Chains A and B, each alone.
Chain A
Amino acid sequence: AQSVTQLGSHVSVSEGALVLLRCNYSSSVPPYLFWYVQYPNQGLQLLLKYTTGATLVKGINGFEAEFKKSETSFHLTKPSAHMSDAAEYFCAVGGGSSYKLIFGSGTRLLVRP
């Protein structure tokens, strides 16, 4: 069985500040991990993914995430927030023979000017 927990339904940062969105997962098989971004009334866009190999994954728009097996975490970071980063972010887990993605409940990022 797999599950995802995103800590903090809302995160607020100042423009230029570090963005840190937390994701912890549970998986009985080696996980595939994903971060998606959703802008208002839009679909989901893949930011980055981890399947195997390097544990530090770089994605689009300056985001990156690190897979830490010992902590069962896959936190999303960006060194400097931009106003355009304001959106909802979803962490998801898949893997093994499962084709399903299990999503967290999302974190809404607010960027203050």
Chain B
Amino acid sequence: NAGVMQNPRHLVRRRGQEARLRCSPMKGHSHVYWYRQLPEEGLKFMVYLQKENIIDESGMPKERFSAEFPKEGPSILRIQQVVRGDSAAYFCASSPLDGTGMNTEAFFGQGTRLTVV
């Protein structure tokens, strides 16, 4: 059973470009979470999605950031018009179906390290 798969592992973008980060949850998991880790800091919650639904995006910046988890395919975190301050590691986690699983069974991917130059 493959773990949470994120790609790319490393992404370099120039200021003003778009960044697309992909996350395939573990098989059987329908809940996806995105976290951001700034250098020398812990992880900060961004958004929680179920298939075709955004459940909680309270941690997402109001502008330029969006997330989706379509019926088919991976979850996508999209950052438009990137700025230097977006440089960070972005982690995806998934949990199984029962909704309360996040508290007990969060599995993290290896992250995408975004560098904005």
Interface residues of A (CB under 8 A from B): 4, 9, 32, 34, 36, 41-46, 49, 51, 90, 92, 94-95, 98-106
Contacts and interface: CB of A to CB of B under 8 A. Distances in A.
A101 B106 contact: yes
A103 B99 contact: no
A42 B3 CA distance: 13
Nearest to A99: B102
Contacts of A36: 108
A60 B109 CA distance: 19
B42 A100 contact: no
Which 5 pairs between the two chains have the least Cβ-Cβ distance? A103-B42, A99-B102, A43-B110, A44-B108, A94-B103
A101 B102 contact: yes
A56 to B, nearest CB: 18
A98 B110 contact: no
A99 B41 contact: no
Given A43-B110, A44-B91, A98 B103 contact: yes
Interface of B: 4, 6, 31, 33, 35, 40-45, 48, 55-56, 59, 91, 95, 99-100, 102-104, 106-111, 113
B102 A100 contact: yes
Contact of B103 (A42, A90, A95, A103): A95
Nearest to B55: A99
Contacts of B59: 100
A51 B113 contact: no
Contacts of A43: 4, 6, 91, 108-111
Contact of B104 (A9, A49, A100, A105): A49
Nearest to A108: B40
